[in-house]
Amino acid sequence: MTRHIPVCEGEVFGRLTVIGMSRGAENGTHVMYQCLCQCGAKTEAAASHLRRKLRTSCGCLRTELAKELGSKSRKKLERGERFGSYIVMDDLGTNKHRKAIYKVVCCCGWQTTMTGARLRSGLKLHCYHSDT
């Protein structure tokens, strides 16, 4: 027998407002509740997920954050942009993982390819070939 801490109608968890217990509320070990999201969508959520803040929206928050991050990270890099000791030479399109890749040249003249995400992140932005 599972221990259930009830969730009250009208209680708010993130963007979700509890509007009542779901039909067939026992879903295995979870007691399910109907919730109304701030975006207007209805969704079901387990009481334990609401209490532990594992569920705070219908999914709209994740979509909004993904769009926001995607628009920032999808910005094309311009030829001549500098990241550490690397300068962007050419846009090579995308790799098999659909990541933007660029041909870059180091201040020592060594050329390689890097993803835009790696260039923007600041990871390995100096050339080890100029150290030898």
For residue 7, which of 34, 29, 36 has the smallest C-alpha distance?
34
pTM of the predicted protein model: 0.51
- What does the DSSP assignment read for 1-42? --------TT-EETTEEEEEEEEEEEETTEEEEEEEETTS-E
Computed over every residue of the chain, the mean pLDDT equals 83
Q: What is the pLDDT of residue 1?
A: 46
Q: Name the residue ranges covered by the structural domains of the chain.
A: 12-71, 75-131
pLDDT at 25: 58
pLDDT digits (tens, 9 = 90+) for 14-52: 999 999 988 765 656 778 899 999 999 999 998 889 988
Provide, rounded to the nearest whole percent, the portion of the chain with pLDDT above 90: 39
Split at pLDDT 50, 70, 90, the class of 111 is very high
